[in-house]
Structure 1
Amino acid sequence: MTPQQKAESLGIVFTKQPPAYLNLCIRSGNQLITSGHVSDLKGKLGAGVSTEDGYKAAKNCAEKVLRSVWDTHGTLDGLKVIKVLGCVNSTLEYSDQHLVINGCSDLLHEIFGKEGDGYHARSALGFAQLPTGAAVEVEAIFEIKG
């Protein structure tokens, strides 16, 4: 199954998006670089939002990133995930940001292959606040192969 087929089989729906205030995904050479995409879930990890809910929020961000990549490139096929930056709205005491951002990485592994084009570099960082009070924000860089 191709990455595009796999994503669609997981229920991710791809439709053209109207232009936003900023470019949600821009092509530069053979790279697709996304803006940060925030989760629908609001709140702070370590203060009412569980790691499990944060994991789901990171997966939600990844789905949004993939939609923006698709909107720019027209397909998920022929791409390699290079880098993911995961930002977690969390308390000073919370230290499981990496487990939260696994929600994003696990989805990318499932679609692009953990041993292949989905095997990516990643940072998972804690932040005092994110835009709109979002629990998670994710941005990514993809390579267009060939």
Structure 2
Amino acid sequence: MVSNKGSQSGSADRRLQDLGIQLPEVPKPFGTYVETVQTGNLLFFSGMLPVVDHKPKYIGRLGKELDAEAGRDAAYTAALNVLAAAKEHLGSLDRVTRVVRLGVFMATSGDFFDQPRVADAVSDLFRDVFGAEKASVRLVIGVASLPLGMPIELEVIFEVTE
């Protein structure tokens, strides 16, 4: 999934290449909203879901229909969608100066307690792309359900150059 290259030098766009990551198409909204909004030097993202080609990659709750590894892959997929939306909005991921906040919402059964490890799939990817010095604060929450039955939804805020 993600290698441990968070300390390598170079630009974020170059790190994507070095990691062999090709960004997906920017996801299309499932409702009346936009994927990104920039105000000043903050870039806000709509809740990012683990979708591929406008279809859920996973359906279900962690600890019931899905295990932690599927959750990690779903979180990673949603994070790739964040990066794709950022790159489309900014033109280059090199304009990201900090990952300010990461919220990872997971649809879980009542006895699933591996949320931090699932969320690390996103934190690790962002570290590998942007560098450890741009790490964010993080909120991880288990919930009863998420849009369209998907297991993961990300809330992300980047600080960017204007």
Query: Structure 2 length as normaliser, TM-score?
Result: 0.81
Q: Which residue in the other structure is 2:54 paired with? A: none
- State the alpha-carbon separation in 2 of the partners of residues 11 and 43 from structure 1: 26
Unaligned runs of 5+ in 2: 1-9, 51-56
Is the partner of 1:95 in helix, strand or coil? coil
Mapped contact 1:82–1:141 kept (Cα < 8 A): yes
Distance of aligned partners of 1:88 and 1:78 in 2 relative to their CA distance in 1, 3 Å threshold: same
- State the alpha-carbon separation in 2 of the partners of residues 111 and 127 from structure 1: 28
- How large is the RMSD of aligned CA atoms in angstroms? 1.8
Q: Which residue in the other structure is 1:26 paired with? A: 37
Distance of aligned partners of 1:144 and 1:97 in 2 relative to their CA distance in 1, 3 Å threshold: same
Q: How does 1:51-130 map to 2 (within 5 A)?
A: 51-79=68-96, 80-114=98-132, 116-117=133-134, 119-130=135-146
- State the alpha-carbon separation in 2 of the partners of residues 31 and 82 from structure 1: 9
Aligned residue identity for 1:83: R
Mapped contact 1:65–1:139 kept (Cα < 8 A): no
Query: Structure 1 length as normaliser, TM-score?
Result: 0.90
The one-character-per-residue Cα deviations of 1:59-96 (angstroms, maximum 9, x if unpaired) are 11100011111111111003111100100010111111
Mapped contact 1:14–1:70 kept (Cα < 8 A): no
**How many residues are paired up?**
143
Unaligned runs of 5+ in 1: none
Q: Which residue in the other structure is 2:13 paired with? A: 4
